[in-house]
Amino acid sequence: MPVGLEVDDMKKLDEVVATRRQVKQGQMLFSNGDAFTSLYAIRTGFFKTCIANEDGREQVTGFQMAGEIIGLDGIVTDQHSCNAVALEDAEVCVMPFSNVEELSREFPVLQRHVHKVMSREIVRENGMMMMLGNMRAEERLAAFLLNLVQRLHARGFSQSEMILRMTREEIGSYLGLKLETISRTFSKLSDDGIIEVKQRYVKILAPDELKKIFNPQSCQTCI
Amino acid sequence: MPVGLEVDDMKKLDEVVATRRQVKQGQMLFSNGDAFTSLYAIRTGFFKTCIANEDGREQVTGFQMAGEIIGLDGIVTDQHSCNAVALEDAEVCVMPFSNVEELSREFPVLQRHVHKVMSREIVRENGMMMMLGNMRAEERLAAFLLNLVQRLHARGFSQSEMILRMTREEIGSYLGLKLETISRTFSKLSDDGIIEVKQRYVKILAPDELKKIFNPQSCQTCI
DNA sequence: AAAAGTCCTTGATATAAATCAAATGATTAG
DNA sequence: CTAATCATTTGATTTATATCAAGGACTTTT
């Protein structure tokens, strides 16, 4: 994944991702309390990570798709502190963390890459704190849809259409809202002609309007 | 900071933290957009990190005290994405990140330490998402106070008393609440005899009651 | 094809926290 | 020492979202 490596070096790096693992829809890649041994690079499929309170309340902490890394939560205590659930059949590369660390010492470019992956996750979660602490339901959903479609587009999919892999309840949990609020907000955006929604299918009809909801200042067409 | 090093190794590590920097109360150690060059280990003082929306809304993303590391947000883009503001006169060790990376390659124990620091921050932010997404005002403030006093106690301070370094507004921003709600919740906890509050001074009178509010299940004395 | 189970939508009502407002208490500047 | 500013508390009211409830749509099972 990191660039700037020689062919021979690449072979060494391949060792780190030698083994793969299939995860069926609904199954867990790892769960809270599991011993931490490896990071996982998602090859195909779609995951959610979530944590649960003692009194049963659940918080989805992220949705991850192909090319993204999960498992970073386990490093600090050598135990995972969240559950990683496949929302569709998935395949991951298992990257034993001791290998990752060993090769990071050998290849500065890999080391830098690992650091960036972790920093990116910290910055993402900072943004989530802003969402959860300051934004209204419509803003949260707009930001969520824009982020999702942008990540899908970066993987070669449409920049306006998508099939959601998660339920309204899971979106709600991620955004700190109840499923009814998610549903109502979808309906509102649909009534306003900004998106088209049919169950899990979402089409963004007016991306600039959506951006304006998320962030009134930064809209391209309304300056 | 990491353990398991020889004396000679320690000297090398000292190089990484050779320079120090004073930050006066109210001043910024770094701010959004600044080039990222270094991590900072807080020697003395107290910081907040915060991000600001384009439309002026501010989210405090963390409070940091002696022994903690700030600046990890800058790694991913080589630019800082938040502001770090000293809430009291502070001194930090400047750790040029290139040195940190270089020495990490040489000393696996340091490498592991850096990874744990980053993972800890990810896990902390996961917990904040749970707070902001699922908990009521009283639970958030209880969790906040317990966390703060626990960190202070780990540094040799009282396990029941503390002087807050931040305003009600900053606590509110961190917890996704308005300052009036923080004030009312302080008053409620005080009326219930769980804490004593006099402006910035807080004394925890009934720690188990506070834990029960934060997490009804995990209380020691109520099983 | 019918039944059962999810998931989703929508309406009516309740509620926690926000907002607006004013007074009080602390801290800083002159 | 006094004025001025800033931080905090408290009350009254509003509001966004949660909760409760019911029906509808889609999916899976039999």
Reduced 3-state DSSP string for chain A: CCCCCCHHHHHHHHHHCCEEEEECCCCEEECCCCECCEEEEEEEEEEEEEEECCCCCEEEEEEEECCCEECHHHCCCCECCCEEEEEEEEEEEEEEHHHHHHHHHHCHHHHHHHHHHHHHHHHHHHHHHHHHHHCCHHHHHHHHHHHHHHHHHHCCCCCCEEECCCCHHHHHHHHCCCHHHHHHHHHHHHHCCCEEEECCEEEECCHHHHHHHHCCCCCCCCC
- Give me the mean pLDDT over the B160-169 stretch: 97
What is the overall mean pLDDT for chain A? 92
Share of chain B above pLDDT 70, in %: 91
Q: Is the pLDDT of residue A165 over 90?
A: yes
Q: Is the pLDDT of residue A180 over 80?
A: yes
Buried b (16+ CB within 10 A) or exposed e, A6-20: eeeeeebbeebbeee
Q: How confident is the model at residue A7 (pLDDT cuts 50, 70, 90)?
A: low
- Give me the mean pLDDT over the B158-170 stretch: 97
What is the model's pLDDT at position A1? 56
What is the model's pLDDT at position B223? 44
pLDDT per position as a tens digit, A77-118: 999 999 999 999 999 999 999 999 999 999 999 999 999 999
Q: Do A101 and B115 touch (CB under 8 A)?
A: yes
What is the model's pLDDT at position B46? 97
- Give me the mean pLDDT over the B123-144 stretch: 97
Spatial separation of the C-alpha atoms in residues B16 and B187, rounded to whole Å: 46
A79 touches chain B (CB under 8 A): no
What is the model's pLDDT at position A222? 46
Share of chain B above pLDDT 90, in %: 85
Q: Is the pLDDT of residue B14 over 80?
A: no
Q: Do B134 and A51 touch (CB under 8 A)?
A: no
What is the model's pLDDT at position A8? 65
> Which residues of B are less than 8 Å from A122 in CB distance?
72-73, 76, 118, 121-122, 125
Bases of chain D below 7 A from a protein C-beta are 7-12, 16-21, 25-27
Q: How confident is the model at residue A56 (pLDDT cuts 50, 70, 90)?
A: confident
B136 touches chain A (CB under 8 A): no
Q: Do A134 and B61 touch (CB under 8 A)?
A: no
Weakest mean pLDDT among A54-58, A76-80, A214-218: A214-218
Residues 194-213 of A with CB under 8 A from B: none
Q: Is the pLDDT of residue A152 over 60?
A: yes
Spatial separation of the C-alpha atoms in residues A190 and A203, rounded to whole Å: 10
Return the higher-pLDDT residue of B94 and B220: B94
Find where tokens 């089409």 sit.
A203
> Which residues of B are less than 8 Å from A175 in CB distance?
133
- Give me the mean pLDDT over the B189-200 stretch: 96
Rg of chain B, C-alpha, whole Å: 19
What is the model's pLDDT at position B221? 54
Nearest to B111 among A104, A132, A215 (CB): A104
Return the higher-pLDDT residue of A211 and B7: A211
Share of chain A above pLDDT 70, in %: 91
For testing contact with chain B, the best of A118, A124, A135 (most B CBs within 10 A): A118
pLDDT per position as a tens digit, B29-61: 999 999 999 999 999 999 999 999 888 899 999
pLDDT per position as a tens digit, B63-85: 999 999 999 999 999 999 999 99
Which residues face A58 on adjacent strands?
A52
What is the overall mean pLDDT for chain B? 92
A61 touches chain B (CB under 8 A): yes
> In this complex, how many residue pairs, one in chain A and one in chain B, have their CB atoms less than 8 Å apart?
154
pTM tops 0.85: yes
Return the higher-pLDDT residue of B16 and B172: B172
